[in-house]
Every structure is written in structure tokens, then in C-alpha cells.
Amino acid sequence: MNKSQKISITKIAELVGGKIFGDSNAVIKTVARIDEAVKGDLTFLYLPEFEKFADTTQATAILIKPDFKKNRNDISYIEVNEPEKAFASIVINFFPDRYTLEGIDETASIHKSTALGKNVALGKNVVIGSNCKIGNNVRIYHNTVVLEEVEIGDDTILFQNISIREECKIGKRVIIHAGTVIGADGFGYHKDENGVYKKIPQLGNVVIEDDVEIGANTAIDRAALGSTIIRRGVKIDNLVQVAHNVEVGENTVISGQTGIAGSIKIGKNCILAGQVGLAGHLDIGDNVILLAQAGVTKSILKPGIYMGYPAKEAKAFRILEAHNRNLPEYSERIKMLEEEIKKLKEEISRQKT
């Protein structure tokens, strides 16, 4: 992030279609959280819990919703319908990530049969095996190992300490963060007649399509046969496990500590929140949202929001949870009703005699 630049409030407002209240000649140098911003910073406000900082923030400018009260004269307000989206657009346009790795370090090892594209940069101790195809403008940072017959598309960035196993394919504009392993053997074993687990060779690969980003210390296992596939535009967080023969649909988002068992097919535009767990051989349809710690044991094909274990539609789960919380009260009421019924029966019996 280049903190020496100066960007006018007017230019920012033009980008996001915002309306300025205050000094339209003000300039900002960088962006910051509302509770940490100082003079020269742009910040934004969209969650109610952060409104308490609006009267004390030292930011030069703040993105706000149209209905927010503008009660300060020492700050410039930029009114937009969705401050969080406007803020993201500003960061993308004015503060893009800058990866400075250039050239091929003398410690990098490249097999002579590997084809490097134009403007490839390799950091310290990078190892690239035989018959690989590396596209243009690829950046591979320190201590990353790429084994045989791997294909890596243009404008891809591989950070430190990544392992990409043989025959895997990485698309264009992919970002893979430090410590991730692509193409480790899937968890495949067969128990023989003596109860001993025998390893099943994992003969497939991993295919990662264009515009995918994968977080740190994530593992995507190679298929037993065929391919484990991460479709175009998928975003995967840190510490995610994707098992063999999984297919993740386009533009799906997967949060940290999610575990996806083998041979699951996940549709397009899904959201898997933190610590979601999915049992093997399931189908998840398009536009499914699994809230944090959902445990999925059966296929979910209907679009919607699901939660809990076993995962249910959110509305149904919340109703069940409300009843669960009231079980002690229900128990006492049932006991009282049983006593009343008993007394009524005794009274009826006395009247008959």
C-alpha cells in the first residue's frame, strides 16, 4: 500500500457514485478502521456496533449510509448506499496489492525440460520439476516446490512454502498463500482380510481454474481417479481441507477450518462459513449457505440457509433450538398437567361410586 500518494475526496466520490458533505477539496493518503483512523485516512461505517466511533474518529473522510447523522464539521462525509462495497471498490482501485518479487534467484532450481513464460519471477530455493509449463508473469516465492508436469497459468502468484504435486493444473490469476499443499495423496485405504489398512494409489490430480484464491495452510488432495476440481472464481480461506475427488462450483466461498470429505460436489455461488463439516459422497446445490459449524450428513439441493448438526434449514433449526431451551419448563408443565389429570380421574372415580 503506497502511503505517499494523495487521492482527492472528489475522485473517490466519483468512483463510488457518492455525495460529499464537507470539504470536497480534502485528500486522503490511505485507508483504516474507523476506531484506528488518523488524519489523512479514509474509513467507512456500516455496522451499528461501530457507530460509537463516529464522534471520535480522527479520519479525514468517512463513507456513510444516506440516513446517517452528519454532526461534525471537521470531517468529510461521502454518502453511499452500501459503504462496505464502496470501501472495497476504493481499495481495489487505489490501493492494489503489490508483489515486488522480480527475477530468478540464483538458488532456484528449474529442470531443463520445464518451459517458463515471460516475466516469471522465482524466489529463493524454489524447485520446479520436469516438464512443467509456467505461464507469463507468474510469481513463485521462496521455498515453494512444484513437481513434475504441473501447469501454471498467467499472472498467478504462489507464496512461500507451497507444494504443488505432479500433474496438477493451476489456472490464470490464481493466488495461493503460504504453506498450502496442492495435490497431496487423497485419504484412501482398503482394509484387508486381516484388518490391515492398505493404501490405495491416488492416480488423479487437482485442477484449479482461473481467478481462484486459496488461503494459507490449506490442503487440496489429488483425486483417486480423475480430478479434484476447484472451479473459476472460488475463494478458499486458511486451514481448509478439501478431500479427493471433490468438485467446488464457480464463485463459491469457503471459510476457515472447513472440512470437505471425499467425492462431494458443491454447486455455484455457495457460502460455507467457518468450521463447516461435510460427510462424503454428498451433493450441495447452487446458492446454498451453510452457517458456521454446520454439520452436513445428507445432500442439500434446495437453495437457502442451513445451520446446526445435522444441518437443517435455518428457520426450522431455530424453532427446534427454541423448544430445546424451553425443555425444563416444558417438563415442569407436563408434571403439573399429569398431576391435574390424576386428580380429575380420582374425582371422576369418586363420583361414579
81 neighbors 66 (Cβ within 8 angstroms): yes
Task: Kindly give the residue spans of alpha helices, DSSP state H, lying in the chain.
Answer: 9-16, 83-94, 314-325, 327-352
Radius of gyration of the chain (CA): 28
**Rounded-to-integer distance, Cα 105 and Cα 112, Å:** 16
Q: Which long-range contacts does 11-19 make (Cβ < 8 Å, 24+ apart)?
A: 12/42, 12/61, 12/78, 12/90, 12/94, 13/78, 15/89, 15/90, 15/93, 16/63, 16/78, 16/80, 16/86, 16/89, 16/90, 17/80, 18/63, 18/78, 18/79, 18/80, 18/86, 19/78, 19/79, 19/80
Cell numbers representing residue 79 in the block? 454518502
Cell numbers representing residue 156 in the block? 498467478
Bridge partners of 248, per DSSP, are 230, 266
Active-site residue list: 244
**Rounded-to-integer distance, Cα 83 and Cα 85, Å:** 6
**Rounded-to-integer distance, Cα 127 and Cα 137, Å:** 17
